[in-house]
Amino acid sequence: MQVVVVTGMSGSGKSTVMDVMEDIGYYCIDNLPPQLIHRFVEICRESENKLEKIAIAADLRSGEMFADAYDCVCRLKEQSDLHVKLLYIEAQDEVIIKRYKETRRKHPLDERFNGCLHQALEFEREQLLRLKAIADYYIETSYISVSQLKEQIRETFLETPSDSLSIKVTSFGFKYGVSTESDLVFDVRCLPNPYYIPELRHHTGCDACVRDYVMQFEQSKILLQKIEDLLDFLIPLYIKEGKSRLVIAFGCTGGKHRSITFTELIGDYLIEKGILPILKVDKGLAAEVDGVRLMKPINGLDALLERAKERHIFGTKMRSVISSYNEKGIHEIVKQQFAYGIQIAKAGFVPILEPEVDIHSQEKGKIESFLKAEIDRYLADLDDGIRIMFKLTIPDEAGLYDSIASDTHVVRVVALSGGYSREEANEKLAQNHHMIASFSRALTEGLTDSQTDDEFNEMLRESIQAIYDASIA
């Protein structure tokens, strides 16, 4: 078992470090009293679903209990069956003081030193000296950006940097509308259409006969190679900039033949690169009943999941919508999402459950409170081995979904902008510290084809930066 103990000066960036550790696969627990570290490690080691990687943050927030931190870490390092590393984070006093002024937060020792931050920092450094002396890794954050800190953590604790980026590859039909959640959109209508081949019309790009037809043409082979080359160039840049999620969409006329062919082939290519693909499994929304739009029945899901195993799919995504407050309807939404989610999880995938709440509902806050209660109820009944993700509309009540994010069954809770303006979405996201952005509409706000390249790129850069800042607030 790998154990990373994170400590250091308050305001130096430990929270950012723990967020990254969680993103790259560590089970994280923050502000754990040192006396409980050994017990926590034992629980993790003895549990049925043994955790392989854990990260523990311990610092002066634990008060007088922190005095035992040095001895606790030393005893932990003595255990031969554990791979224990101590990561120490600090920054210069003037930088920490500036950060506290900007955030308007109190230092953990604020009351002890009557608000004198200089004295608090001096005392804190003295208390940390022995731990600093035995640290395996040391990072000084005074003059590095948040993105640089994140990259340094990823480079230190990841076997491969690509582990930090989640990539979703999807397909769509232009006659149904362009995919709005995508970062990269490729139009493959330039290729010969299998629809006009009678024996291929009723097949899809999942079938070998369609793939063989599409890829027999030289232009198809060249296009595939050029897309692979482009992704080889772009993905490291996205990783370097700290992007955690990338959506790639392929479109053709009906979204059935050419687009699926390229989705499958690029999915295979990315898997070879060590990247995990996500599969959209829902068949669209049913008509509104009881204030909600359930998903249409996902017929043939077992067969789809079997094909997904062959394509090495990591997880799935499915969406339903809640328009108004109706307890019966909300219950049915959660029931359906969990029923399919459990089926998908038992098949070996990580399902993303997306019960979207209409932001224009006059009872949005009331809907979200009941939705959370229903989700909590279903989470409590899940088997220990089930792991799921949630994609939820940013709630009106700050921190409403924090308990969901901390549930042992939940890998991550991502936020969708849901139609909010970028400014509104970012403001709400910044108040929900356990959610990360999965914005599409908010990201593309203000972007038009009439802009110059420089105008377009500058607005996109500003959008990305604003959403990024809100995600780490």
Q: Active-site residue numbers? A: 354, 391
Residues 6+ apart with CB under 8 A from 296: 282, 283, 284, 285, 286
What's phi and psi for 24, nearest 5 deg? -95, 15
Residues in the chain: 473
| E strands present in 365-409 | 388-393
3-class state of residue 351 by DSSP: strand
**Tokens describing residue 428:** 């709400």
Which residues 6+ apart lie within 8 Å of 17 measured at CB? 6, 57, 87, 89, 139, 149, 153
- Separation CA 137–CA 25 (nearest Å): 19
Residue 152, classed as helix, strand or coil, is helix
DSSP string over 15-60: HHHHHHHHHTT-EEE-S--GGGHHHHHHHHHHSSS--SEEEEE--G
d(CA 25, CA 28): 9
- Strand runs labelled E in 188-238: none
* Contact status, residue 75 vs residue 47, Cβ threshold 8 Å: no
Distances in whole angstroms, Cα of residue 264 to Cα of each of 191, 241, 306 = 16, 27, 14
Neighbouring-strand partners of residue 84 = 3
Task: Provide Rg for the chain, Cα atoms.
Answer: 24
Any idea what the Cα angle at residue 30 is, between residues 26 and 36, rounded to 5°? Answer: 100
Give, in degrees to the nearest 5, the angle at Cα 444 between 275 and 455: 110
Which amino acid, 418?
A: G
CA distances from 295 to 10, 182, 340 (A): 46, 21, 10
